[in-house]
Amino acid sequence: MCRGAKPLLGEDIYRLREGAGAKKSPPLTSVADLHAHLKPLRISDPPPPVSSPTHAVSAPPISTPDQQFKWACSVCTYENWPRARKCTMCSSPGPPTSPPRIVDDNSTYNTSKWYQRRRQQQIQQQHVDWSWLNACVGVVQGDPSPVEAFLKSGGDPTRQLSPQEVAILNRPSAFDIGHTLVHLAIRFHREEMLATLVSGIESGCGGGGSGLKRVPSYVAPELATAIRRHTATIFSCGKKHHPHHHHSKFTTFTLPAEIEDLPVHIQEQLFEELLDRDAQQELESDPAVINWSVEVTVQLGSRLYALWNRSQGDCLLDSLMQVTWGIFDRDNLLRRALADTLNNAGHLFYSRWCEYEASQARQLDFSLSEAQWAEDWSALVRRATQPGASLQQLHVFTLAHILRRPIIVYGVKFVKSFRGENLGYAGFEGVYLPLVWEGSFCSRSPVCLGYTRGHFSALVPIEPSTTHDNLQVTFLPLVDSDRKLLPIHFITKAEVIPIFFYSPTNAGSEERLLREWLDVNLTSGGLLVAQQKRPTRPLLVAQMLQEWLNHYRRLA
């Protein structure tokens, strides 16, 4: 700092700096003595007199303006004395010109004016991210345009305000050091901006595709909260033979037909901000899992779209809440219902699970002991109770009973590595029927999900124009692109054997079982499809969709 000579070995480093012949300081016996003897240097203080073995240099008695006002290094911010031509700390070159002298009538320097002008030049020379600062101002003023511009340019919604940026904004009542856009949105009650920022943070965490996401529940967060409160009231627990949770109302979420009234470029933006493009592409790639039949997607108007959702281990539960109510399971409602069901009514599912798993094990030429079966079952029950824990086929089967309706999973058959190599059989694709319930107690209208790379996505159509008994209908294939019937999970021999009297083949028996639980049709092209019927949309969901659509109508 001061270019003084290094103390000789054995010297008292706490001695005062009056000169080379100064006496040693008295011993330190208290904190007060330590503070009295240790006088730390500050960057803004002038250097103290330096003692050397040959001569002593004392501080100049009078400070000139050139010595009073230092220049800050643009690289390391160290404040250097005006006469320094380069930074003492990092050797970066100093200002190109010497400070101008403004002489008044008394021939003295007008240092205050020069200092203010110098500070303004330093601020202008600094690299300022005006996109980021404009986004902060936009949140405070309620203007979403600079916020969206900042996010679309790749800006980080978790970025924090630095002291220099707070000084530039110069509004202490609004901006504090360390604040993010989320802090500002909460502080100034910008609910729509807050939802947009949260989506930017979550979509940046992976799993659901890239870019800014704007799903209906983010655009209308108050209505989404009201829907979550409503769904919590329509779960009930059965008694006696079925002591597990179940849904007491059937709803099916579809995208509104008004989307097609928007200009093409607005539709493209809407789908980019709504869909999981990565999942959509993988499900539609060769061999396609969804939308592979022109007859179903075009002629019957039943194209499926993979909605973006959170990738936090609860994607299965999020997807089921999306295909029914259009929201995420933020309150872990389905997770709690799943855990309670397996804890209280696990015996109703255990025998089915054992028989199903044993048949799968026989195909792979291995078997498990009773202790191993019990251990695996306990692990599955524990997973149901842990938020964020990944779920298995048993959980999908149990959730079909909680919703009291079939679940169709269109999934990739093999899990691939990042190189495209097959790592193993996925096993989620197929139909999950609520077989433990009585058929009359359940809905015959299924919901469908997509499965890719350990991630579930909600698959929903645009509001269909085809009607059946005054209900809008979407047709869901029950076969894959090779015309092979989708597997039915967790069926027992007792449910299949009686059907053999009607059909000599296992495929025929499974088809008859599907017809017992679903409204099944055969298309003119010979495809077996299930009818997904959508009754009148719940009022809260309709209001949420209208607010979401109004955002894109304003853009148009």
CA dist list (Å): 47 to 95, 171, 339:
21, 35, 69
CA dist list (Å): 244 to 251, 337, 347, 501:
20, 8, 11, 34
Interhelix angle for 221-233 vs 539-555, to 10°? 160
Active site (annotated) includes residue 241: no
Q: Which of 63, 61, 86, 64 is nearest to 75 (CA)?
A: 86
Catalytic residue among 179, 246, 455, 489: 455
- Tokens at residue 111, please? 């240092």
The length of the chain in residues reads: 556
Distance CA 87, CA 125 (A): 16
- The 10 Å Cβ neighbour count of residue 524 is 8
Give the three-class secondary structure for 335.
helix
Which single residue is written with the structure tokens 């396609």? 288
Q: Is 479 exposed, middle or buried, given 0-12, 13-18 or 19+ CB atoms closer than 10 A? A: middle
CA angle, residues 124, 130, 135, in degrees to nearest 5: 150
CA dist list (Å): 239 to 242, 294, 435, 438:
6, 46, 17, 14
- Tokens at residue 143, please? 């203007």
Active site (annotated) includes residue 455: yes
List, in order, residues 6 or more apart from 259 with CB less than 8 Å away: 267, 270, 462, 549
CA angle, residues 142, 144, 146, in degrees to nearest 5: 110
The amino acid at 125 = Q
The amino acid at 384 = A
Catalytic residue among 315, 395, 401, 448: 315
Distance CA 329, CA 411 (A): 22
DSSP per residue, 78-123: PEEPTT-SB-TTT--B--SSPPPP-B-TTS-B-HHHHHHHHHHHHH
Distance CA 294, CA 303 (A): 9
Distance CA 162, CA 77 (A): 14
Residues assigned a catalytic role: 315, 455
